[in-house]
Amino acid sequence: MPRENLTTKRQRAQDIERIMFEHYGEGACSLDYTTPFTLVVAVVLSAQCTDAAVNKVTPTLFEKFGTPESMASAGPAEIEEIIHSLGFFRSKAKNLVALAQTLLADFGGIVPDDVDELQKLPGVGRKTANVVMCEAFKNPQGIAVDTHVFRIAHRLGFVTRNDDTPAKTEAKLLKIYPQSDWLYINHQWVHFGREFCRARNPLCAECPVNSLCPSFGKA
């Protein structure tokens, strides 16, 4: 693939996004939730875990502690008992109680619809905040860079090996993709990463964007 400038990268990105829409539509969140609060909780729990594993524990968790008020008054041990099958369950339980308490103390119990304000909640980083902004509020203020998005961005040649953090990768993607696409990229790429662009043994020959991918046959 010839050397690209920003303009040609943007054009290739739009061609890829058109194919993503053909295959995945707008994409869909794999986590089960009913409110912005339960979404925040589910995304916090999903760190270093599969969404399927999170979905196994959240019905019980949300039945008992599905509001900021109920979770803020819970003891971490009560949360641990429910989520113990997940990785880092002790620190997650502690963060969830603190998150709910902060939400009540500083935000009137309402999940803020701002990416910077969201990151003031314990356990909420940039990726989680971006997911909540896109999924709960349909107001993208960035792109959630998880392991799938990070891997795919590198394989598609939109970032370089120097872009070795989610923050650096996100910064590059925000320059390439228009804000109207930020809403969909994470969900679409997660599904694409699971189906084709796998971490191991990617299905390059069957990939619908292989003609637009500089890593075709190399991954």
> Which token pair is 66?
């599905």
φ/ψ of 196, rounded to 5, equals -120, -55
Cα separation, 100 vs 65, in Å, equals: 10
| Torsion region of 50: left, alpha or beta (phi above 0 gives left; psi -120 to 50 gives alpha) | beta
| Number of other residues whose CB lies within 10 A of the CB of residue 38 | 21
Q: CB-side exposure of 109: number of CA atoms within 13 Å?
A: 7
**Cβ neighbours for 203, distance < 8 A, ≥ 6 positions apart:** 195, 196, 197
Report the catalytic residues. 127, 146
**Cβ neighbours for 171, distance < 8 A, ≥ 6 positions apart:** 163
Whether the CB-CB separation of 91 and 71 falls below 8 Å is answered with no
Q: CB-side exposure of 184: number of CA atoms within 13 Å?
A: 19
Cα separation, 73 vs 63, in Å, equals: 15
